[in-house]
Structure 1
Amino acid sequence: MSGRSMTVSLLAVLVLFIASNALFIIKETERGVLLRFGQVVTPNLEPGLHVKVPFVNNVRKFDGRVLTVDSTPERFFTQEQKALIVDSYAKFRVIDTAKYYTATNGDETRASALLSQRINDGLRNQVAARSIQEVVSGERDQLMAAINRELDVVARTELGVEMIDVRVKQIDLPQEVSESVYRRMNAEREKEARELRAQGQELAEGIRAAADREVTVIEANAYRDAQEIRGEGDAEATRIYADAFGQDPEFYSFTRSLRAYQESFQSSGDMILVKPDSEFFRYLKDSSGALKEPADAVN
């Protein structure tokens, strides 16, 4: 290879090296600043191809997407001095690259730490102005909206980022308080359960008493109706007997005597002493029932 070819090759390599250091690309998902010896000369570089002076200018690129800062759980005190463990997170996005670079040196970890500190300060102030009921459920949405508004102003001014949202993930009681609260809640639930059981027992006794009373009334009414029906039947039977025997009184007297004989002499050892002229044996002497003068006593 001749000296001229070598020179051309070296010049080509030098041009490529300079070009590679002079050209840079900002992606759609990135934000960037152009520095000159560490000083910001062109903030908020737009996405696309850009040119810089090699060895003089430097480019710092940042993630332009929505980022998340996850704060560590912190202990805060409510208006009534009740301790709560609050775990939160926030969403932010870089909007002022020059301010962001100046405040954090382009370090996302440092930016997250600064935001986390400010989130905790905001939460501390908001929780201190509310009761535990308002923090947990009553005004939880209002609390997060207030923190987001206040933090967005501070973040834009100091860090050059936009606060998109601040959310509380979890609110817990401290461990030493949780046990006592759990025991108190358990005692309250047991008391409520005993009251409900007592009310149920009272209601059951009332239902049983009403059922027993109804059973007694039904049985009494049934017995009364049965006695009335039985009495009506006996009366009807007596009337029928009276009508039947009224047609032939002598036959009725005869059948009654036969029944009396049968009941009086049911066994061979039975014995009766009566006068011979007693009406008891009138039908034994005469089937017509006519009485005669007795001659001897009958055994």
Structure 2
Amino acid sequence: MRAIYVIPVLVALVVTALSSVFIVDERKKALVLQFGEVTQIKEDAGLGFKLPFIQEVVYYEDRILGLQTAPIEVTLLSDRRLVVDAFARWRITDLGAFRRAVAGGGEARAQVLLNNILQTAIPEVLGTTTQDRVLSQDRTALMNEILAIARREAAALGVTVIDVRLTRTDLPEQNLAATFARMRAEREREAADEVARGGEAAQRVRATADRTVVEETSRARREAEVIRGEADAERNRILAEAYGSDPEFFAFIRSLTAYESALVTGNSSIVMQPDNEFFTYLRGEGGVVTGGAATAVPIPAPAP
């Protein structure tokens, strides 16, 4: 009979003992709550103890967490508008303040509150600067200003903001089409200017080439005329020397040339006196002489 009562007592003791012990992982922090009030904070990994059935344990992340903000439309100092979002890294550093700030919402509630802080800090900082500075590669100073504001505001939440980075800085959708159209028009204008300059350069090259052709052709013709004149002069000199050395032979050659030109086979006839000097070298076997006029028999022209 005694064993019947001992076993339930032992089971109750084991359950009570197990309910009074909790384990904190090295990636977590723990709060012990009693009726919603914080009674114990345990930030080190290991075993912890609490009152069974009365106190409860709530665990929170001890690791660095990330937060991607929602896109924010910001008006810059130059009245230009940009869509900006940021990425932040944060960590819980004061569990008591964190519990009071987020109540039962935990890390999810903290993410919402931090996002609200950044959505206020980003326009506050970027609203005092220009687009060139925001879009430049060296915008560390702007991110440090946002980080300082976020750290100051997040201290009341029991968290520390470690870093803030601007991840996107784009034009609003309604401005993109106008911006692209303006860029396209500028590129088309530059292309038209380049085409016009190319056409002008082509005209200059073509005109220069035409002028060069005319100049070279004129120079070639002038040189040809000079050479032709020199050749004619040389020919005349040779003919003059030949005529001076043997006038009779020169007269014979001239007569043969005249015969070649005048007596063309098939359509050449000459009617003249038989004692004409033209027949000086045709009298005899080459011609037929009658009583009145003499008709020269057509003689084939010598082969050229």
* Distance in structure 2 (CA, Å) of the matches to 1:238 and 1:160: 122
1:192 is matched with 190
Say yes or no: does 1:21 pair with 2:19.
yes
Q: 2:86·2:167 contact (CA, 8 Å) conserved in 1?
A: yes
1:75 is matched with 73
2:135 is matched with 136
Q: 1:44·1:97 contact (CA, 8 Å) conserved in 2?
A: no
2:268 is matched with 270
Which amino acid in structure 1 is aligned with residue 119 of structure 2? N
* Distance in structure 1 (CA, Å) of the matches to 2:40 and 2:225: 116
1:107 is matched with 106
Residue 232 to residue 159, structure 1, CA distance change in 2 (3 Å): farther
Which amino acid in structure 1 is aligned with residue 121 of structure 2? G
Say yes or no: does 1:178 pair with 2:170.
no
Which amino acid in structure 1 is aligned with residue 58 of structure 2? R
1:43-87 Cα offsets, whole Å, 9 max, x none, are 352112222222343221112222222222122211122332222
1:255-298 Cα offsets, whole Å, 9 max, x none, are 221111121121455344556665433333489xxxxxxx9865
2:149 is matched with 150
**3-state SS in 2 of match to 1:266:** coil
Alignment of 1:135-284 (within 5 A): 135-137=134-136, 140-155=139-154, 157-235=155-233, 247-267=245-265, 270-272=268-270, 278-284=276-282
Q: 2:28·2:43 contact (CA, 8 Å) conserved in 1?
A: no
* Distance in structure 2 (CA, Å) of the matches to 1:43 and 1:208: 91
**3-state SS in 2 of match to 1:75:** strand
* Distance in structure 1 (CA, Å) of the matches to 2:43 and 2:221: 106
Give the alignment's TM-score, normalised by structure 2.
0.81
Report how far residue 123 of structure 1 moved.
0.6
1:68-123 Cα offsets, whole Å, 9 max, x none, are 22222122211122332222232212222222222112511210111011101111
Q: 1:35·1:57 contact (CA, 8 Å) conserved in 2?
A: yes
* Distance in structure 2 (CA, Å) of the matches to 1:232 and 1:48: 121
Residue 247 to residue 13, structure 1, CA distance change in 2 (3 Å): farther
Choose from 85, 96, 99 the match for 1:98: 96
* Distance in structure 2 (CA, Å) of the matches to 1:5 and 1:220: 138
Give the alignment's TM-score, normalised by structure 1.
0.82
Aligned residues: 289
* Distance in structure 1 (CA, Å) of the matches to 2:42 and 2:238: 125
Where structure 2 has 5 or more consecutive residues not aligned to the other structure, the ranges are: 286-290, 296-304
* Distance in structure 2 (CA, Å) of the matches to 1:132 and 1:170: 13
Q: 2:151·2:161 contact (CA, 8 Å) conserved in 1?
A: yes
Alignment of 1:47-62 (within 5 A): 47-62=45-60
Q: 1:40·1:98 contact (CA, 8 Å) conserved in 2?
A: yes
1:291 is matched with none
Q: 1:44·1:96 contact (CA, 8 Å) conserved in 2?
A: no
Cα-Cα RMSD = 3.0
Q: 1:34·1:45 contact (CA, 8 Å) conserved in 2?
A: no
